[in-house]
Structures are given as C-alpha cells and as structure tokens.
C-alpha cells in the first residue's frame, strides 16, 4: 500500500512542477469547500529536506464540514513501513492561506497545518508546514507537506 501511495503522489509532481516553472501558478484568495472536497495525495518530508525524498505519504479525503459551511473536514490515512495511522482534519483556505487542524481522537488537537494554495494550470496544489500542536504529545517532528489531487480529480 505504501508503494502505491508513494507512486501516486510522485506521479502528480511533474505536472505541478511544470506549471510552477512556467509561472502559470496563482494564489487564489478563497478556495470554496467544493474545490477542496475529494481525494488528495499527501506527501510529507522533513523540514530542510526535499519533497522528492518523502518521509511519509498518505491519502486525505475531504468533504464539506457539517457545522461550518465555508470549511472542509475529512480523514487522513498515512503511514510508513506498514504502520498506517488515521487522523481527522478540518480547515479552509482564506486570503490564499491554508489552515488545517488535525486530531488523532476527534477531540484533542494533535497538529496544525499552515500553507499556501496555488492554482497551477487549473490544478490546485497546497504546500506548507505541519507542526505538532502546542502542548500535544506528538512523536512527529515539524514536517513540510504537499497536497495534490490525483490525475482525473478536480
């Protein structure tokens, strides 16, 4: 499963990188929940590391948040070496900035995600930093992340 997730995540990188290199990327002011909804490939790497050498990969499935109309909520499934981990995430993109809260149990915050959404040739990509939440007992270090939708998803 890990190899499949990694190959899917890496397959999305060339199109995103090409659009970025040609300068066709824009930072949208707002990304509506409908555009954030769906399945995303998640790639995580160490701060100071390289995205093409991921520490971890996963799949994020988002849908409109049932309580907050302008936000999304969903499940993140990620793991390495056969150890899969599930988290609940919720957040939005406002003024071009991406913000997510992550919880392992649906109650306590485990991590916060901050980044920038870019529209690169019609494909949305979100890149940023995932940090353990203040006071969270998390074994995870500060990680960089990239979220991309698999080919065929919009």
Q: Considering only residues 31 and 45, tell me which one the structure prediction assigns the higher pLDDT.
A: 45
Q: Which of 22-26, 42-46, 51-55 is least confident?
A: 22-26
* Residue 96 pLDDT greater than 80, yes or no: no
Q: How confident is the model at residue 113 (pLDDT cuts 50, 70, 90)?
A: very high
Q: How confident is the model at residue 123 (pLDDT cuts 50, 70, 90)?
A: confident
Alpha carbons 89 and 101: distance in angstroms, whole number: 6
Tell me the pLDDT tens digit for each residue of 76-93. Answer: 999 876 788 999 999 987
Q: 42: Cβ–Cβ under 8 A, 6 or more apart, which residues?
A: 9, 57, 58, 59, 60, 76, 78, 145, 146, 147
Using left for φ > 0, alpha for ψ between -120 and 50, and beta otherwise, residue 83 falls in beta
Q: Which of 10-24, 46-60, 90-104 is least confident?
A: 10-24
What percentage of residues in the chain have a pLDDT greater than 90?
A: 40
Phi, psi of 144 (to 5 degrees): -85, 155
What is the pTM (predicted TM-score) of this model? 0.77
* Residue 153 pLDDT greater than 70, yes or no: no
Q: Considering only residues 84 and 102, tell me which one the structure prediction assigns the higher pLDDT.
A: 102
CB 74 within 8 A of CB 103: no
- Please report where in the chains the tokens 């999304």 appear, as a residue: 72
Q: Six-digit token pair at 102?
A: 């992550």
Q: Considering only residues 75 and 29, tell me which one the structure prediction assigns the higher pLDDT.
A: 75
Instruction: Provide mean pLDDT across the span 46-52.
Output: 90
Using left for φ > 0, alpha for ψ between -120 and 50, and beta otherwise, residue 152 falls in left
Q: Six-digit token pair at 22?
A: 């040609």
Alpha carbons 74 and 61: distance in angstroms, whole number: 5
Report pLDDT for 137. 73
Task: Measure CA 64 to chain center.
Answer: 16
């Amino acid at each position: 499963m890990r190899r499949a997730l990694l190959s899917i995540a890496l397959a999305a990188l060339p199109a995103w990188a090409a659009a970025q290199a040609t300068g066709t990327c824009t930072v949208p002011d707002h990304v509506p929940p409908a555009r954030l909804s769906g399945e995303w490939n998640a790639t995580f790497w160490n701060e100071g590391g390289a995205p093409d050498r991921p520490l971890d990969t996963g799949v994020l499935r988002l849908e409109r948040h049932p309580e907050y109309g302008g936000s999304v909520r969903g499940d993140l499934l990620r793991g390495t070496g056969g150890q899969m981990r599930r988290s609940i995430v919720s957040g939005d993109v406002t003024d071009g900035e991406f913000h997510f809260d992550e919880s392992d149990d649906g109650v306590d915050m485990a991590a916060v995600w901050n980044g920038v959404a870019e529209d690169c040739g019609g494909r949305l990509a979100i890149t940023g930093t995932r940090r353990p939440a203040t006071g969270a007992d998390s074994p995870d270090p500060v990680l960089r992340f990239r979220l991309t939708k698999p080919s065929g998803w919009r």
